[in-house]
């Protein structure tokens, strides 16, 4: 009988030049793609490469995205971004995206990720790539140096933890609610740096951008990576975004009983969730904080401002106005998503409701852009709400879905979106 292999093991085995790999063994993997941004990349890699006298192993497999410090708001930001721009020119890097949006959205929407790839990124939310059936995880600058020079990295083969969601999400409930529920249950270190695979009928029903939300926030579960096995929806989305699809996609599924552990959830009974200040793990049903007054409603970041997220917010706000005294801020995750939202009327719906559109960048989520003010209460679609991350220590940030953020902006207090959706 052949050895059972999870999706994670199958991808790692291919990268290691093996037929199979065992959980717990250490293997050397060839990297298909290395992604980094203006904060994690050139300003750290350039001096180390120069000290070693080393070169990039394969420039076609490197993607650089300027998204953290743009638009440049001060001399320090300008210095960091200019280092990245100058280095990109010096190296003649072919895949550079400057001020086009957030790396985790820009990279797949430009066709750089496809099922079965083994990828690394200089950012913890690089796990987003797993939505497309790729093994992708975040690494630090020293590890990235090794990858950039050798094209390889060592890896301990992880266990696979399956999060199996049956049923179907109700209207006004989405992938962000699923993640906040799971993080509340397991904690921010609950996955113990293993691979988490999302499966079941409810996951199959999700759009690709909703699957991106699941895999993105695997980082908040403490996973090394998050994965969704590719299917017809994956192939269609990637084809529309210019990805080169490999042969054998149908084999990129976990073998039955290959998971080390499985948890079962029922999407039919899931309601809107919140994470209270100051941790994504402080998850509770929204009703526990219903009617809490807010000052700011923020839709932004790779987690919560993709095209699908903007559409969710527009469903709530169409033909309505944000409550007096509430500041609604929207930073679309990419210029491409913003352009589509504009062409279909979604963006105008949000503007008409009173939203202010911010640049497509990491912004407030990374603490480099639009920060919040003293003593403000914020409802945000971002992935993290650690104290001091997005503003002063006195700022209180709740995490919710784009539906919830929009509903709360409408009423001026934390609101179950199902109460106001038409």
- Listed in sequence order, the residues at least 6 apart from 296 whose beta carbon sits closer than 8 Å to its beta carbon are 326, 327, 328, 329, 372, 376, 377, 378, 379, 380
Q: What is the pLDDT of residues 367-412, one digit of tens each?
A: 776 679 999 999 999 999 999 899 999 999 999 999 999 999 999 9
Kindly give the pairing relationship between strand 195-199 and strand 160-166: parallel
- Positions of the chain with pLDDT lower than 50, given as ranges: 1
Q: How many CB atoms lie within 10 A of CB 364?
A: 25
Q: Compute the distance between CA of residue 5 and CA of residue 157 in angstroms, rounded to an integer.
A: 11
3 state SS of 252: coil
Q: What is the pLDDT of residues 338-351, one digit of tens each?
A: 999 999 999 999 99
pTM of the model: 0.97
Confidence at residue 377, expressed as pLDDT on a 0 to 100 scale: 97
Confidence at residue 250, expressed as pLDDT on a 0 to 100 scale: 87
Confidence at residue 2, expressed as pLDDT on a 0 to 100 scale: 59
Q: How far from chain centre, in Å, is Cα 123?
A: 10
Q: Please tell me what DSSP assigns to residue 398.
A: E
Q: Which domains does the chain have, with CATH numbers?
A: 7-266 (3.30.499.10), 272-419 (3.30.499.10)
3 state SS of 66: strand
State how far the alpha carbon of 212 is from the alpha carbons of 83, 199, 203, in Å.
Answer: 30, 13, 11
- Listed in sequence order, the residues at least 6 apart from 86 whose beta carbon sits closer than 8 Å to its beta carbon are none
State how far the alpha carbon of 75 is from the alpha carbons of 81, 84, 86, 364, 389, in Å.
Answer: 10, 14, 16, 18, 21
Closest CA to 417 of 407, 370, 185, 409: 407
Q: What is the pLDDT of residues 50-88, one digit of tens each?
A: 999 999 999 999 999 999 999 998 999 999 999 999 999
């Amino acid at each position: 009988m052949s050895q059972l292999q999870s999706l994670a093991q199958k991808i790692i085995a291919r990268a290691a030049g093996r037929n199979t790999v065992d959980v717990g063994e250490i293997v050397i993997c060839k990297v298909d793609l290395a992604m980094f941004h203006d904060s994690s990349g050139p300003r750290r890699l350039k001096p180390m490469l120069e000290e070693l006298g080393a070169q990039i192993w394969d420039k076609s497999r490197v993607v650089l995205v300027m998204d953290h410090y743009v638009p440049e708001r001060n001399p320090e930001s300008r210095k960091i971004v200019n280092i990245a721009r100058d280095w990109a020119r010096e190296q003649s890097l072919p895949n550079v995206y400057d001020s086009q949006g957030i790396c985790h959205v820009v990279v797949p929407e430009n066709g750089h990720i496809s099922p079965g790839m083994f990828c690394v990124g200089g950012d913890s939310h690089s796990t987003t790539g797993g939505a497309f059936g790729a093994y992708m995880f975040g690494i630090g600058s020293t590890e990235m140096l090794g990858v950039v020079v050798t094209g390889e990295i060592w890896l301990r083969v992880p266990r696979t933890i399956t999060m199996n969601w049956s049923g179907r999400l109700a209207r006004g409930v989405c992938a962000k609610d699923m993640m906040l529920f799971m993080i509340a249950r397991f904690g921010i270190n609950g996955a113990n740096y293993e691979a988490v695979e999302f499966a079941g009928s409810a996951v199959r029903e999700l759009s690709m951008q909703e699957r991106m939300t699941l895999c993105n926030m695997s980082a908040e579960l403490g996973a090394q990576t998050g994965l969704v096995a590719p299917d017809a929806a994956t192939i269609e989305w990637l084809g529309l975004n210019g990805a080169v699809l490999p042969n054998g996609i149908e084999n990129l599924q976990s073998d039955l009983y290959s998971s080390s552990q499985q948890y079962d959830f029922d999407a039919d009974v899931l309601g809107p969730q919140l994470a209270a200040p100051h941790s994504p793990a402080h998850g509770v049903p929204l009703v526990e904080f219903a009617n809490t007054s807010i000052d700011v409603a923020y839709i932004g970041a790779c987690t919560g401002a993709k095209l699908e997220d903007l559409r969710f917010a527009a469903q709530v706000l169409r033909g309505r106005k944000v409550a007096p005294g509430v500041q609604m801020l929207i930073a679309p995750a990419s210029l491409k998503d913003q352009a589509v939202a504009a062409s279909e009327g979604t963006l105008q719906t949000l503007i008409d409701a009173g939203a202010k559109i911010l640049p497509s960048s990491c912004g407030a989520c990374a603490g480099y852009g639009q920060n919040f003010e003293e003593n403000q209460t914020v409802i945000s679609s971002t992935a993290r709400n650690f104290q001091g991350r997005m503003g002063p220590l006195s700022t209180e940030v709740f995490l919710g879905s784009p539906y919830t953020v929009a509903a709360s902006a409408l009423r001026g207090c934390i609101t179950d979106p199902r109460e106001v959706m038409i």
